[in-house]
Every structure is written in C-alpha cells, then in structure tokens.
Amino acid sequence: LKLISMLRYAAKKNIPFLNHHRLLSTMAKPTAIFLNCTRLDYDRKLNFDKLAEIVDFHRNDTDYVTDPKELVQLVTDSKAEIVITKEMKVPAECVQEFPSSVKLLCEAGTGYNNIPIPAAQAKGITVCNIPTYSTEAVAHMAITYVMNLSINMFEQQAMLQKGDRSNFTGPFTLPLMELGDKTIGLVGGGGMIGSKVADIALALGMNVIISSRRGKLPDDHRLATHPKVKVVSDVDHLLTESDFVSLHTPLNDQTRGSFGRAQLTKMKPTAYLINTSRGAVCNEAELIACLKEGVIAGAGLDVTATEPAPMDSELWNLPNVWLSPHIGWRRLETRQRLVDMTCDNIKAYCEAKSPEDYINVVS
C-alpha cells in the first residue's frame, strides 16, 4: 500500500518514479463509492463497466443518505479515495470527518449547490461536476411543457381521468393557442440549456427574449444576430413581453428565492411559468399565492424548492400547477451519458500528472 501511495504521488507530482502509470495499472485500483446510486440507476439499466475498469467500484443502493453519521461511515468503511453523489446534500461537517483517503468528490450532475466547496477545499478534496450531459434533455423538457400548455393537454387529460368527456361530446371549453409568433422569455437563457431551448422555440416559429446581465450574447454565439432573438439586461422587459417564461439560472446565494411576486406580477395574466432549473430559484410561498390569485395562467414545474415538495404543499393540488418529479435528466440515454462522463472525470483524475490535468473542477 505504501508503494502504491508513492507511485500515485509520483504520478500526481510528475516525479519520475520508474514507469508509475504502467505499474499502477497492474496494481490496486483506487476505490470509489457512489453514495446514492439508486438516484441515478433506479431501474438497474445503466452500465458501469467503464468505471469498474479504472476503480474498485462500490455502489450504495439507496436514493438518498439522510443520516450524516451513516454517510461518514459509508465513506470510512469503503476506504474510498473517490466519492460520487447525485443531487444529495453532503453537509460540511460530514466532509470535515471524511478520512484522509478521500481526494475527489464527484457530483454526478450539473448543479453542485449540495456540495460544501469550502469544506472540501479545506480538506484538500477536489470537487468536479458534469456540466453538459443533459443539455438537450432538459431543453426538451422545457419545450414539452410549452407544447402541452399551449393546447391545454394536461387539463384535457385531467378531465378525462374524472370521467368528463364534454370536450368530445359538446362545445370545446379550453383555450388553445398556436406557438408561431408567440414569445418565450428565457431568464438566464444565454447558457447551453437556455440556448438549446431557444433553438427549438425558433424552429417552432416563436420569438425569443433572453435575459443577460451584459445585455448581449458573445459575438460568436450562434444566436447573437438572429432576427427573432432579443437579448435584454432588464428582466422586467422579458417578463412583460413573454407568453411563456422559462427559468435557466443556477442556484446560488444571489438567485435563491429571486423569482417571486415582484416578477410574477409583471408577467401577462395569460402567461405560463416553466422551471426546469432549480426549484429554490423561486420564492415558493409567493409563487403559490400568485397562482391562487390567478396572477398568471399557471406553472409547469419539473423542480421544487425541496424535492419532493412537502406533502402538505399546496402545489400538489392547485389546478393551474403541473408537476413532474425532476425528470428532465432521467431519460435512459441521458443517465448513461452521465455515467460515462463521470467516468471521464475520474479517469482524468487517475491519470493526471498534476491537478491542472483534472477536468470539470468546480470552486
């Protein structure tokens, strides 16, 4: 074990030590534990063979580890060098108690707000994420809401579930709209997912408004000069002009709870809010109040402030709210891509001659 540690140290520090990479390939692999593997591989259809080739892979088959003591014990017992999580809060006090063996903490996803970065850095643990695995899938999710809301598909199905067939037998009772020349506003929409939503919306004949702090997209952005795309720094302008408002902002101290009554009251009363980013970006209490008051037509939410929403939350029963259980990233192909890209992160770490060779490091 001491020899293995010396070889790894030599590899990381770019110190000649015989042929350390070749020697390591024939010796013990680093141990990796996926603390909540069921969150990702809930149907047992994912292939982890690539990962098992480069690490001694341990999977903990649960959706979420809620007990901090259990979390630390799992890491300690596994003697893991690499810890993998998926959308699971890792308390700072747990990271502080991790054994010294832990050197890499991988968030198997894009958002890393559940990882205490300062605590990891203080412990000498590198944190990485997967920023691009679900771009198309989440964009498709947002557009799925747009298309269903435009023809009131959700409400039609709800009526049928109640045995109400009046739209088939009598005058049609629900409002419908074409999407051509309607406007979708993308709050924080200059990133990869927002831009993909814009691409699809444009293909449907929609107008697009993107909010950006700079008030412009980079000159080389594919949408920078598109005649049906407007970029604004004033979010209020986006809100007043849009028929659909889709949120695409990361969750951080600046965005948490930033979309509430002040923003909703600027939207058209016929407009819909769509959130496929992070639920806590919305002030949920104010959103619920505005939906009950009819300030906007409704909301399609793939995310909520806590997931799932509290069982007593009014979101479950409001007639103008449509919920999905954060499924934007859950397609089989998307999840397998996530496994493969997590493997790429870990492989880069294992083969690195210096920390500069790590990929997708967050700070």
Burial class (CB in 10 A: 0-12, 13-18, 19+), 351: middle
326 catalytically annotated = yes
Q: How far lies 52's CA from each of 31, 81, 233, 285, 321, in Å? A: 10, 14, 47, 45, 42
Burial class (CB in 10 A: 0-12, 13-18, 19+), 320: middle
CA dihedral angle for residue 298, residue 302, residue 308, residue 310, rounded to 10 degrees: -10
- Catalytic entry in 8, 58, 248, 278: 278
Q: How far lies 235's CA from each of 26, 290, 336, in Å? A: 57, 19, 36
Task: Report how far apart the first and last C-alpha atoms of the chain are (Å, whole number).
Answer: 31
CB 309 within 8 A of CB 277: no
CA dihedral angle for residue 217, residue 274, residue 278, residue 339, rounded to 10 degrees: -80
Cα Rg, the chain, nearest whole Å: 23
**What does residue 257 show for φ and ψ, rounded to 5 degrees?**
65, 20
Q: Of 58, 22, 18, 59, nearest to 39 (Cα)?
A: 59
- Catalytic entry in 326, 330, 335, 337: 326
- Catalytic entry in 70, 97, 307, 351: 307
- CB-based contacts of 201: which residues, under 8 Å, 6+ apart? 143, 146, 179, 184, 208
Q: Per the structure block, which two tokens stand in for 37?
A: 């593997």
Q: Of 328, 293, 297, 335, nearest to 314 (Cα)?
A: 293
CB 68 within 8 A of CB 91: yes
By annotation, the residues acting in catalysis are 278, 307, 326
